[in-house]
Structure 1
Amino acid sequence: MATEEKPAILVVTPMPAAPTSAGNRRRLSATCETLRRGGFAIDLAYLQHEDQVYRRFGQHPPTDAAAMGAAFDRVFSIPAATPIPLKTWTGGFAIDAWCPPELDDFVAWYFERSPDTCAIVVNYVFLSRCLNAVPKGVLRVIDTHDRFADRNLQYRPFRAEPNFFYTDRASEAVGLSRADMILAIQSAEADYFRGLVDRDVYLLPPVFAERAKFRAPGRLTRFGFIGHGNDPNLFSIGKFAHGWAASWRPDLPVLVIAGEICGSLNGLDLPGVQLAGYVDAVETFYAGVDAVVAPMLMGSGLKMKVAEALSLGRPVIGTRIAFEGFDTDHPAHRLEGVADTVAAVLSLHDDPDALATLTAACADLLARYNAKAAICEAAWLDAIPRRSARRASSPAARAPDVSTTVGAGIIVREECSLRSLPVADEDGCILVATENPSPATAREAGYPSERRRWFVSPMPDGSLPPSGPAPALPGGPVSLSPEWIHRRSLPRPVREAIAGSLGDAQADWRADGRLIGYEADGLTVVTCVPSFLVARSRATAAFLLGDGEAARELRLTGTAALARAPGLAFAATRGELNPVPASLTFEPLEIDGSASPITAARETLSHPKAVLFLSDDLVGLICLAPERNTRLEVQ
């Protein structure tokens, strides 16, 4: 007798499902686990929003494509070619400001090829426009995660603006109205959504099964906080850490902070506070602390860090905001701010009876929470219609396709695989660039998650002078890995060899330029460039490319906006790259060997070609016109 195939659901998300290093990823993972327990097969569509954002901040995106490929029936990666705005100076973002047209195209493409999929679950209301591309008869669900109307008001006490989406009530209602069903993570937000739109609203707090037994500590020696580097975490733990340090003595417990947030707390050197950095397994972190602190001063939704700590058997001390969505009356769960939370830790740290009472209250809280969550889960699963789905067989895992080439003193290792997480491979090569296909190319290939990646290392014998031409790096669109650019993690001759190989890469912006002179202190070029380059608001590496000559790394030492445009062409693939007429002054970096820096620059300039700019996720190119008179005055 043939086994009945599982009904299929498409889950659309702007963040990767792995690693689960942030609260929104843990929510996504928990919802997918609920669907699996309900007997559904899941196709995951990852709009590469977070990858784009991380690269724009000069960071490598923590995305594990291999883990996602193993966890879901099919995984589709949707290039986010349209830049997502991170700031708005109005009352809020338009509801579709963060939904690029590439996602609409994907959803239409998917349902043309998967007509038996019974439902779509879209994470976040700001991606709701893609539901307009869903055919009739398919259940449309929005998992809200949070309330986004007037979210900016929480930031006013901190004199800051959110770095995440927010909007107004009318816009949020428009987005939610596109769905048949709405998921809320906690009761107060479920009531808010019911008052906003006439749609079925289901409460779906994630189930956090007990993964470790509660054990009451006799004394606190180390208590911890682990989290993502978002604004609520940064504001809250930053203020708490300073408050704790002000009260700390050597006989008091140490506050241990871990997770991605540590990358945004570099330089935080306070007594009684330890930065543990990113941890590969949260279990290791929780096993190393006696209790957890959640001193949240802002935020909405459900605090996943609280539920996670409880599921791993650790008592939690936190503010009223941290425990929103949990049914608790223990005083250590209803604190009002930093001073109250510091006082609670000081009161509890050496009181075994009080710690035992708190631990018992936490165990009871988790049991009651999970019982309620299980009832909510069953109600939601019963409401999802089922029909048989035609499933495509998942591709078998295969070894990466690897090729290695050598030249110009470097080794280039090209790999086509799902391994998106590492910034270096097992041989110590540094990740330099990742293939970034256009939406049209991705559509033709079926939106695969596999990508070509290029890793580079110096020649093992340390001989960096050229040994033949530099190996070819990609000629199409790529996403740069920012670490080797910003941290200078490769030697200068290696960086120059890479730049020479990237000279034919598809540029995000391109301009004509005129060399107006070189002196002992550098080179000056008149051109039009993106405004960020004049403001020098992004870390940028520059390389001089000569016709037939090796690339030379330059240091941008001066920029000046010009009052009058020099009449030189400028083109960009991104609308936010606004051109500014400017003069740029460069100083060549120290050159190895007997030739002086300016002599080496003159050799390259004997056949001038271009200046290549590498910054975050951008490739820029100024094409230099031959100029006989190198001492022209800028008008």
Structure 2
Amino acid sequence: MKDLLYLVHRIPFPPNKGDKIRSFNLLKHLAGRFRVHLGSFVDDPHDWRYQDEVAAYCESLCLLPLNPRRARLRSVAGLLSGVPLTVPYYADRRMALWVSETLERGVDHALVFSAAMAQYLPREQEQLHTVIDFCDVDSDKWRQYAQGHRFPMNWVYRREARTLLGFERRLASACDASVFVSEQEAKLFRELAPESSARVHAIDNGVDTDYFSPERDYPDPYKGKGAALVFTGAMDYWANVDAVTWFAKEVFPRVRAARSDARFVIVGARPTPEVRRLEEQPGVHVTGAVQDVRPYLAHARAAVAPLRIARGVQNKVLEAMAMGRPVVATPQALDGLRDCPEMRWLVAEAPADLAKLCLQTLEDGDSAGHGAKGRACVLAHYSWAEHMDRLMALLDAPTAPEPDVLRAGAGG
């Protein structure tokens, strides 16, 4: 069994949000093929409790604390340099030393999860077969953020979009293969980085359809009170905050005017004060962190995904589909999903149109079978095993990278 260095910006457990779902499933499959040496950061003190569960998959493990406030200060200092602010955010000399010592043990394969962790790869890496999983085109996400903010943040976000794209292109040129979470993301990056287009691949996310199954009995968290529309996701993530705030203010009042029993339930950890204030509106409820999201999906009339800024595949949409729930969504929330011919998506962009679709699901109980068709789509196209086999093939493929263009500094 070969040794592999796996670098992840955030501890890949528990798999309760988008990046952790993907990074954990990668870890599970890697552990069956390689002796895994995992280097990662812990930015939530509660996650230290999962150290032993992660270690069970690893030959060696380096977990370092990351204080978000101090990391942001490092990022601000990065404005004086030409590097993207994402790089100094994750810079740590201890991680650089651990990576160097690990590679000296003869490790010759590497998988990097997210661009920022590539700063720890050596300048000379001809003997290190490297695949980078960008997941999304993050530079384009920052471009979208800039469009939704005023000065000075729009300037900061435009700078990050520009410098991060340059960094992403250098990484793609240096690595043996670059991976994205959907064909749409891969296509966009091929257009932005044509010099590396031949080594850019799409590896979809998957869903554990046994776990997210509508066939199980779940307790009703709504206690039979009202007809629930549910949103699930990390509620300190700006795109999610924007989505639920816009939906609560622009869409849901139209629904509530026609159905006084309608409820909009926002399920997810770390809700911001802005999200908490939404509970002042009639029919809106914010749960905070929950032990199990499945009951909230199982007993909702529909899941809503009113994202206006989105990159890649939305796990929240896949999980709702796996649970057999109809999904009312904006086009942006579905951009990364495969086209399932049998699906007729409940998609709209204007508030009045979204409200109409929500009311339709509340009234007819999904008589059109959107939920069943969504689960069928997931079963057909979103198997973790199939997608991970394709990634393992990339890790095994012998190709030569262009040397000496990776390192952006790993101080801090």
Into which bin does the TM-score normalised by the smaller protein fall?
0.7 to 0.9
User: What's the CA shift for 1:331?
Assistant: 4.9
Q: How do residues 317-336 of structure 1 correspond to structure 2 at under 5 angstroms?
A: 317-326=328-337, 327-328=339-340, 330-336=343-349
* Distance change in 2, residues 1:21/1:235 (3 Å): same
Q: How do residues 89-100 of structure 1 correspond to structure 2 at under 5 angstroms?
A: 93=84, 96-100=87-91
Higher relative contact order (CA 8 A, sep 6+): 2
Which residue of structure 2 lines up, in the alignment, with residue 16 of structure 1?
11
Where does structure 1 lack aligned partners over 5 or more consecutive residues? 1-5, 52-59, 388-573, 576-635
User: What's the CA shift for 1:370?
Assistant: 2.0
Q: How do residues 277-356 of structure 1 correspond to structure 2 at under 5 angstroms?
A: 277-326=288-337, 327-328=339-340, 330-352=343-365, 354-356=366-368
Which residue of structure 1 lines up, in the alignment, with residue 102 of structure 2?
110
Q: Aligned partners of 1:68 and 1:137: how far apart in 2? A: 27
How many residue pairs were aligned? 367
Which residue of structure 1 lines up, in the alignment, with residue 404 of structure 2?
none
Q: How do residues 212-227 of structure 1 correspond to structure 2 at under 5 angstroms?
A: 212-214=212-214, 221-227=227-233
Which residue of 140, 145, 158 maps to 2:135?
145
User: What's the CA shift for 1:263?
Assistant: 4.3
Which residue of structure 2 lines up, in the alignment, with residue 204 of structure 1?
203
Secondary structure of the structure 2 residue equivalent to 1:182: strand
Q: Aligned partners of 2:123 and 2:286: how far apart in 1? A: 46
Q: Aligned partners of 1:83 and 1:310: how far apart in 2? A: 36
Structure number having the greater helix percentage? 2
User: What's the CA shift for 1:74?
Assistant: 3.1
Which residue of structure 1 lines up, in the alignment, with residue 276 of structure 2?
266
1:361 aligns with 2:373: yes
User: What's the CA shift for 1:374?
Assistant: 5.3
Q: Aligned partners of 2:79 and 2:344: how far apart in 1? A: 39
Which residue of 222, 225, 230 maps to 2:237?
230
Which residue of structure 1 lines up, in the alignment, with residue 110 of structure 2?
120
1:370 aligns with 2:382: yes
TM-score normalized by structure 1? Answer: 0.52
Secondary structure of the structure 1 residue equivalent to 2:318: helix
Q: Aligned partners of 1:337 and 1:14: how far apart in 2? A: 36
User: What's the CA shift for 1:342?
Assistant: 2.2
* Distance change in 2, residues 1:7/1:92 (3 Å): closer
Secondary structure of the structure 2 residue equivalent to 1:262: coil
Which residue of 243, 246, 259 maps to 1:239?
246
Q: Aligned partners of 2:379 and 2:21: how far apart in 1? A: 19
TM-score normalized by structure 2? Answer: 0.77
Q: Aligned partners of 2:287 and 2:126: how far apart in 1? A: 50
Q: Aligned partners of 2:299 and 2:108: how far apart in 1? A: 44
Q: Aligned partners of 1:66 and 1:290: how far apart in 2? A: 38
User: What's the CA shift for 1:233?
Assistant: 0.3
Q: How do residues 430-449 of structure 1 correspond to structure 2 at under 5 angstroms?
A: none
* Distance change in 2, residues 1:350/1:172 (3 Å): same
Letter in 2 for 1:222: A
Where does structure 2 lack aligned partners over 5 or more consecutive residues? 216-225, 399-410
Secondary structure of the structure 2 residue equivalent to 1:279: coil
User: What's the CA shift for 1:279?
Assistant: 0.8
Which residue of 183, 190, 194 maps to 1:187?
183
User: What's the CA shift for 1:380?
Assistant: 2.6
Q: Aligned partners of 1:337 and 1:350: how far apart in 2? A: 20
* Distance change in 2, residues 1:359/1:143 (3 Å): same
* Distance change in 2, residues 1:367/1:128 (3 Å): same
Secondary structure of the structure 2 residue equivalent to 1:159: coil
Larger radius of gyration: 1
Which residue of structure 1 lines up, in the alignment, with residue 33 of structure 2?
39
Letter in 2 for 1:30: N
* Distance change in 2, residues 1:134/1:226 (3 Å): farther
Q: Is the 8 A contact 1:320 1:333 kept in 2?
A: no
Structure number having the greater strand percentage? 1
Which residue of 114, 122, 132 maps to 1:132?
122
User: What's the CA shift for 1:244?
Assistant: 4.0
Which residue of 164, 170, 179 maps to 1:174?
170
* Distance change in 2, residues 1:244/1:337 (3 Å): closer
Q: Aligned partners of 1:319 and 1:170: how far apart in 2? A: 30
Q: Is the 8 A contact 1:279 1:285 kept in 2?
A: no
Q: Aligned partners of 1:129 and 1:385: how far apart in 2? A: 23
Letter in 1 for 2:176: D
Q: Aligned partners of 2:86 and 2:266: how far apart in 1? A: 35
Q: Aligned partners of 2:352 and 2:124: how far apart in 1? A: 50
Deviations 1:410-467 (A, max 9, x none): xxxxxxxxxxxxxxxxxxxxxxxxxxxxxxxxxxxxxxxxxxxxxxxxxxxxxxxxxx
Letter in 2 for 1:100: A
User: What's the CA shift for 1:213?
Assistant: 4.1
* Identity percentage of aligned residues: 20
1:76 aligns with 2:62: yes
User: What's the CA shift for 1:80?
Assistant: 5.1
Deviations 1:127-147 (A, max 9, x none): 222122575422112110211
Secondary structure of the structure 1 residue equivalent to 2:135: coil
